[in-house]
A and B are shown apart, each in its own frame.
Chain A
Amino acid sequence: MMNDLERTIVNGLQGGFPICERPFLAAAERLGIGEEELIEGVRGLLDQGVLSRFGPLYHAERMGGALTLAALKVPEADFEAVAEAVNAFPEVAHNYARDHALNMWFVVATDKPERCLEVIDEIEAATGLHVYNMPKLAEYFVGLRLEV
């Protein structure tokens, strides 16, 4: 379980981290903790796996890349093998099993727009399944903030 300090850090840094000479000091002052406490706290949270990343979050399209959400209808018996084949692609960023006939949902992120469709084709070839490709057409919200 997280202690109060860790909770403060997780809640306080999801919104953003300063870009200045002493960013840990600036962020720590805002959170009412010490600079060293913040640095060691972030290290601990990364080590425990509570945080998967501490760094920049890129906007794929503005980076010149592409991002899409895709789904597969996987026969239950083949699920593990298909998951392995899909996850083997370095361009696959997330992959979730969900309760639906379309039961595998993953995000494909590529650094060139044309590569995105190639990866979709390659996943179809590797799995023998049709990939339902659902790139976003509009975005109504971007933040992901979880209070702990």
Chain B
Amino acid sequence: MAECTEESTMCDPRHALLLQSVQSGLPLVHRPYAELGQRIGMSETEVIGLLSEWVAAGIIKRIGVVVRHRSLGYDANAMVVWDVPDGRIGDVGRRMSAFDFVTLCYRRPRQGDAWPYNLFCMIHGKDRANVLAQIELLAASCDLTDVPRDVLFSRRCFKQRGARYAARALAAS
């Protein structure tokens, strides 16, 4: 029996069914939520209600499109990593994420000598020189000119897909 914690909203098998059915994508029809409901025996109103609830609860960040950035010419995909003193990291992270060319910004654990960096940000650009200039701008405006940093451009993407989740209730059955 799979564990069913309080935080898990997916314990209701009907919820799990909706989650599974919407996971592969929204149907491209005039009333996609009615169509989803029809597949699993739920009304359009119920589907709309549940999805809205999940968005409000933050379980779904949003419904939208995921762009394969390479197909749009965003080839200069840089992971920029910094070794920020622990006491400054919250402040630096917030300042950095305010730049609109920074698309993701996370604190992650250092890995000893092999990897001294604790702040990661992503910049998706069309041009390497431009991305490097943006990194200089970040360093100057966040007081990071003296901290160790590295820039890891991607060479190849082997796999890009959305994460998929099997709901717990289904895993249990």
**CB-defined interface of A48-77 with B at 8 Å, one 1/0 digit per residue?**
111111111111101111010101010000
Pair A57/B61 contact, Cβ less than 8 Å: yes
A-B contact count (CB 8 A): 241
**CB–CB A57/B64 < 8 A:** yes
Interface string of A132-143 (1 = CB under 8 A from B): 101111111111
Cross-chain contact B67 with A54 (CB below 8 angstroms): no
CA distance A15 to B90 in the complex (A): 26
Instruction: Kindly list chain A residues whose C-beta atoms are within 8 Å of the C-beta of B24.
Output: 55
Category for how many chain B residues contact A:
35 or more
Contact between chains at B48 and A145 (CB < 8 Å): no
Is A35 an interface position by the 8 A CB rule? Answer: yes
Given the known inter-chain contacts A21-B44, A95-B159, A145-B103, please indicate yes or no for A56 contacting B23, CB distance below 8 A.
yes
Distance between Cα atoms of A64 and B22 in the complex (Å): 18
Find out whether the CB atom of A138 lies under 8 angstroms from the CB atom of B107: yes
In the complex, what residue of chain B is closest to A111 when comparing beta carbons?
B165
* Contact call B115/A102, Cβ cutoff below 8 A: yes
Report how far A138 CA is from B10 CA in the complex, Å.
Answer: 25
B135 interfacial contact with A, CB 8 Å: no
Q: Is B66 an interface residue (CB 8 A)?
A: yes
**Cβ-defined contact, B63 with A63, below 8 A:** no
CB distance B106 to A138 under 8 Å? yes
Q: Which of B26-79 contact A (CB under 8 A)?
A: 26, 28-34, 44, 48, 51-52, 54-55, 57-69, 71-72, 74, 77, 79
- CA–CA, A3 and B89, complex, Å: 42
Q: Is the CB of A93 within 8 A of B26?
A: no
Q: B33 near A111 (CB under 8 angstroms)?
A: no
For B105, list chain A residues within 8 Å (CB): 139-141
B47: nearest residue on chain A (CB-CB)?
Answer: A19
Q: Assess the A60–B163 pair: CB atoms within 8 A.
A: yes
Asked whether, in the complex, the Cβ of B61 is within 8 Å of the Cβ of A58, the reply is yes
> What are 24 A-to-B residue pairs whose CB atoms are below 8 Å?
A14-B67, A15-B62, A16-B62, A19-B55, A39-B28, A53-B25, A53-B65, A54-B66, A55-B25, A56-B51, A56-B54, A60-B165, A62-B57, A62-B59, A69-B106, A93-B159, A97-B156, A99-B152, A111-B171, A135-B109, A138-B90, A140-B93, A141-B103, A142-B104
* 14 additional contacts (CB under 8 A) given A16-B64, A39-B30, A93-B161: A14-B64, A17-B63, A22-B31, A49-B71, A52-B160, A53-B25, A56-B60, A57-B60, A57-B62, A58-B162, A73-B114, A93-B163, A98-B155, A111-B168
Chain A residues packing against B (C-beta within 8 Å)? 2, 9-10, 13-17, 19-25, 35, 39, 42-43, 45-46, 48-60, 62-65, 67, 69, 71, 73, 83, 87, 90, 92-102, 105-107, 109, 111-112, 132, 134-146, 148
Q: Using a CB–CB distance below 8 Å, which chain B residues touch chain A?
A: 2-3, 5, 7-8, 10, 22-26, 28-34, 44, 48, 51-52, 54-55, 57-69, 71-72, 74, 77, 79, 89-90, 93-94, 96-97, 102-109, 111, 114-115, 120, 122, 124, 150, 152-168, 171
